[in-house]
Amino acid sequence: MEIIGLIVAGIIIGLLGKLVAPGDRDNIPLWLTVLCGIGGVLIGYYVSGALGVAATDGIDWVRWIISIILAAILVMIAATVTSKRGIRR
């Protein structure tokens, strides 16, 4: 996949991951969501390859589903790390 395609897919997957992530997910900036999406795409392709998912001529639905799930996990981790509720004054 070309770098432009990866960035576009990362933006889309990041936004989808933000929608899929449960709980309070609006406390992280959009740029961090996009980075989580790009990370989800990269890690998702690696994990699906490690699981033996073969590349097809059409759309690789299993790879995209894994990428969306991993992007949602990365968004939840980013939301937890950047949460302001844990700081008490």
* Residues 50-75 pLDDT 10s: 888 877 677 778 888 888 788 878 87
Distances in Å between the Cα of 12 and the Cα atoms of 36, 40, 55, 79, 81 are 11, 11, 21, 18, 22
Of residues 29 and 51, which shows the higher confidence score? 51
pLDDT of residue 74: 84
pLDDT in tens, 79-88: 788 776 555 4
Q: Establish if 41 belongs to a structural domain.
A: yes
For 65, what's the count of Cα atoms within 13 Å in the CB-facing half-sphere?
A: 4
Q: Establish if 20 belongs to a structural domain.
A: yes
- The count of structural domains within the chain is 1
Q: Establish if 87 belongs to a structural domain.
A: no
Task: Note down the domain range covering 67.
Answer: 3-81
% of the chain exceeding 70 in pLDDT: 73
Q: For residues 68 and 12, what is the distance between their CA atoms, to the nearest angstrom?
A: 9
Q: Establish if 35 belongs to a structural domain.
A: yes
